[in-house]
Amino acid sequence: MDFILDHYENPRNAGSLNDVSEDAHKCDIKQNGGNPGCGDIVTVCLQFQDGIITDFKFEGEGCIVSQAGTSIISEVVIGKSKEEVLSMGPEVITDIIGEELALSRPKCSTLGISTVKLAIRELEREETKKLALA
C-alpha cells in the first residue's frame, strides 16, 4: 500500500497540460477519461516519435487508486509502441498493484490504461482521416 500512496502523493509524469506550446510537452493527442459513478477523472497528454510514446503528462482528480494507477501506467507506457500499449490487458496494472485491490476497484485501477488506449485509438483515427484526405 505504501507504493500506491507514494504514487498518489508524488505522482509521476503529472503536470499541466494547458501550455502545449513548448515542444517538450506538446501533445500529439490529449484524451479525457473518467468513472462517472465515483468521480474519478484523468486527462492524458501523449507525445509520440516514430510510433513510440516519448512523453506522458496527466492531470486528474479522484480516489487514490485511480490517480496512483494513472501515475504507475505513465511509467509503464513511456517507451512502448502504440501496438504494445493496445495489446496490454488489465493485468498490466493488476500485476503491479495486486489482484485484491485491482479486483475490488476495477474501474478505478484501470482508468489510466483505459484512457491511454482511448487516446491511441483516437490518434489512429485522426491519422487515418489525414491519409484519406491527402
Number of domains in the chain: 1
Supply the range of the domain harboring residue 96: 2-123
Helix (H) or strand (E) holding 33: strand 29-35
What is the per-residue pLDDT for 22?
Answer: 53
Helices (H) and strands (E) in the chain, counts: 7, 3
- 119 within a domain of the structure (yes/no): yes
Among the residue ranges 21-25, 31-35, 60-64, 120-124, the one predicted with the least confidence is: 21-25
Structure confidence by residue, pLDDT tens digits, 41-68: 999 999 999 999 999 999 999 999 999 9
Residue 130 within any structural domain of the chain: no
* Residue 82 counted as domain residue: yes
Residue 134 lies in a domain: no
Name the pTM for this structure. Answer: 0.90
Q: Is residue 128 part of a domain?
A: no
Q: At what angle do helices 64-77 and 111-133 cross, to 10 degrees?
A: 50
CATH assignment of the domain containing 81: 3.90.1010.10
